């Protein structure tokens, strides 16, 4: 084996070793969540969905609180203040838009401050 071939083989091996070490190191550096801090432990959207499913909150409160969770988290009651995932916004807005016409006028007025344009009232199909 020539010296140049030996160096090429060892350089590739060293590159793989370094790349492997970088991958292992980056996987081990995940941020740690402090479970003693309730802000990190509560996912607001999931908590609202669970309470709505269990009928602990009304439809109006549920959709109003979902809107607050995305646009004005400080407006939520203290027991619902927590984190919202980075990809929770669009599905929540779509959910609120679909239920908009089932809400009371007061709730609709509040939601209109953040979500526009809202869909028109659905028309009944003629048979």
Residue 110 CA to residue 119 CA, distance in Å, equals: 15
Q: Are 50 and 42 in contact (CB under 8 A)?
A: no
Over the stretch 82-100, which tens digit does the pLDDT of each residue have?
888 777 788 888 899 899 8
Query: Which backbone phi and psi does 125 adopt, to 5 degrees?
Result: -80, 140
Quickly tell me which residue has 């009304």 as its tokens: 58
Q: Model's pTM, two decimal places?
A: 0.60
Residue 62's pLDDT band, with cuts at 50, 70 and 90, is: very high
């Amino acid at each position: 084996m020539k010296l140049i071939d030996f160096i090429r083989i060892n350089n590739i091996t060293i590159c793989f070793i370094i790349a492997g070490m970088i991958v292992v190191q980056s996987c081990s550096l995940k941020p740690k969540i402090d479970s003693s801090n309730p802000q990190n432990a509560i996912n607001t959207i999931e908590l609202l969905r669970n309470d709505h499913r269990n009928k602990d909150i009304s439809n109006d409160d549920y959709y109003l609180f979902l809107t607050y969770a995305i646009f004005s988290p400080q407006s939520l009651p203290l027991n619902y203040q927590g984190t919202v995932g980075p990809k929770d916004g669009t599905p929540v807005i779509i959910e609120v838009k679909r239920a908009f016409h089932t809400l009371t006028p007061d709730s609709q007025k509040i939601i209109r401050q953040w979500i526009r344009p809202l869909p028109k009232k659905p028309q009944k199909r003629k048979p």
